[in-house]
Structure 1
């Protein structure tokens, strides 16, 4: 059974806005109106009664309660607490002005740099707040036990996946990145209960990634998905679902927007593996570094 959002193990105050954005594409029209009202003005909703929110959204009290339960919350009081906690966290940092995430041809590079810094830091903070650490722990355990680790990723997600593959190789973990769907399917077909398949897709809808993960699951491998949208198709074929909280911006959409948040989660997995295999990992890392010294040019 996948670690789906219906059974959140992190506290309700963790990343509630990111959680709402993550499930937004799968919400009904009525629930979408509620989500939009919350995302547009979380502070007002945190201070509103359930009746006030229902009137604002043109819906019933029962529907508001159902929406809360769809987020894994007990009810509206818990939603208000979660929103208040998140507002308290964000009050200490500069507001994310929408103007900061848009670029114009006239912008100086200093403005571009600040925009990138604000959006990336915000996305990483939200990812950390909503990340299910129990799921991360299960993923690390699976990676440590794995005979073979297959990683499926394409396009922008392949860049962060390659970094993970190289680092795991350096500490002796048998990890292979597949970016071609035909090769990925062939490798997935050869997996069994001793193996792990990790798929990375920002949208969770990339067929070239979802299909090999599905095959690996059918063959008995432990399957892990890293996505921004926990109710996307990739989650249906994953035993463990890890989520990011990136937001698309005008010039950075999809995997481009998610790159730093994906790397944050993959760093957690890598460090977790190193912690559990510390002596062997340290030894292999040191000997690999020594072996690579002769390939470095001297400094001037």
Structure 2
């Protein structure tokens, strides 16, 4: 084992938290989520390690650091760096998590990664695969969501003078969903899918305002630019993205990471990524509603009554 590997690998469990515990280490289910989320942004050699542990956690758990390096055609240092990127101070901790994940999969509590939909799949199998993929996306997003960052974003939203939300395409639909939720509890919010309007509105933001960028890739220029402007104007900025190291995050005070979808020919990544984004939006909304309950509850009741009145009027119309 090289000195470099010994330096990284030797940390073991001692860095897991106060008193050398492991409370800060990702749980086995969170490991699967982190592999799916972080693999696309890894180097190719690290991806091979990540894919190996995701495809065969039981087999990899039985390997030494040297054995996994040989299996993946990488180096011991690459294996250890991958373990650290996934949240483990050393390879020993990763092996323990892999063993736990394998046990969960064997018991049926943590199913293996779903297979892609084939063009000749019967419709019943398509339904089953889509349902599983949606469930996995939600589970992965929940497991990887930083609740400290989430709480900070909720606090900023609850006290904001106004909130701007930026998103285009499928992420634009999520931006609209968050906006209408905030409006229904009496908060001033607007969604922007037009990049020119987004920037011109961002210029008007200041300290005490909030700007939220929704972009799965984290590299959508039409979303990054207004967030940059809002950031420079002093607004509190939030990024909802599937790539925690993407360009959008350099202008985000708070980063909320969603699960990275596996794109296939018959199912673009945008469809699955939107599921995780909507979960984050719901978490933000419920958190804000809790903090502003005295004003949010009557505002929500008023909106329900207004919609009910409209429906009654439509039914009475000749």
TM-score, normalised on structure 1?
0.89
Gaps of 5+ in 1: 1-8
SS in 1 for 2:165: strand
Question: Once superposed, what is the RMSD of the aligned Cα atoms?
Answer: 2.2
Q: C-alpha displacement at 1:85, in angstroms?
A: 3.5
Provide the residue aligned with 2:171 in structure 1.
157
Q: C-alpha displacement at 1:55, in angstroms?
A: 1.7
Provide the residue aligned with 1:166 in structure 2.
180
The 8 Å contact of residues 25 and 87 in structure 2, kept in 1 or not, is answered as no
Measure the CA separation in 2 of the matches of 1:145 and 1:74.
Answer: 37
Aligned length, in residue pairs: 289
Q: C-alpha displacement at 1:183, in angstroms?
A: 0.5
Give a deviation string over 1:139-159, Cα, whole Å, max 9, x none: 111111111111000001111
Give a deviation string over 1:86-106, Cα, whole Å, max 9, x none: 3444432554441xx3142x5
Measure the CA separation in 2 of the matches of 1:281 and 1:96.
Answer: 40
Residue 265 of structure 2 corresponds to residue 250 of structure 1: yes
Matches within 5 A, 1:262-277: 262-277=277-292
SS in 1 for 2:240: strand
Provide the residue aligned with 1:48 in structure 2.
63
Q: C-alpha displacement at 1:216, in angstroms?
A: 0.9
The 8 Å contact of residues 12 and 78 in structure 1, kept in 2 or not, is answered as no
Measure the CA separation in 2 of the matches of 1:291 and 1:36.
Answer: 52
Q: C-alpha displacement at 1:58, in angstroms?
A: 2.8
Within the candidate set 112, 124, 127, 2:126 is matched to 112
The 8 Å contact of residues 15 and 86 in structure 1, kept in 2 or not, is answered as no
Within the candidate set 231, 236, 240, 2:254 is matched to 240
Q: C-alpha displacement at 1:172, in angstroms?
A: 0.8
Matches within 5 A, 1:210-229: 210-229=224-243
Measure the CA separation in 2 of the matches of 1:107 and 1:29.
Answer: 31
Measure the CA separation in 2 of the matches of 1:67 and 1:260.
Answer: 27
SS in 2 for 1:15: helix
Residue 109 of structure 2 corresponds to residue 92 of structure 1: yes
Provide the residue aligned with 2:221 in structure 1.
207
- Going from structure 1 to structure 2, the CA distance change for 1:267 and 1:84 (only over 3 Å counts) comes to farther
Within the candidate set 124, 129, 139, 1:125 is matched to 139
The 8 Å contact of residues 34 and 140 in structure 2, kept in 1 or not, is answered as no
Give a deviation string over 1:48-86, Cα, whole Å, max 9, x none: 221211221233323322222233321111212333333
Residue 94 of structure 2 corresponds to residue 79 of structure 1: yes
Q: C-alpha displacement at 1:224, in angstroms?
A: 0.7
Q: C-alpha displacement at 1:10, in angstroms?
A: 6.0
- Going from structure 1 to structure 2, the CA distance change for 1:39 and 1:148 (only over 3 Å counts) comes to same
Q: C-alpha displacement at 1:108, in angstroms?
A: 4.2
Q: Which structure has the higher relative contact order (CA within 8 Å, separation 6+)?
A: 1
Range moving further from structure 2, 227-236 or 268-277: 227-236
Within the candidate set 276, 288, 295, 2:310 is matched to 295
Measure the CA separation in 1 of the matches of 2:104 and 2:171.
Answer: 29
Q: C-alpha displacement at 1:17, in angstroms?
A: 2.6
The 8 Å contact of residues 216 and 241 in structure 2, kept in 1 or not, is answered as yes
Larger Rg: 2
Within the candidate set 287, 299, 309, 1:284 is matched to 299
Q: List structure 1 segments (4+ residues) > 6 angstroms apart after TM superposition.
A: none
Provide the residue aligned with 2:3 in structure 1.
none
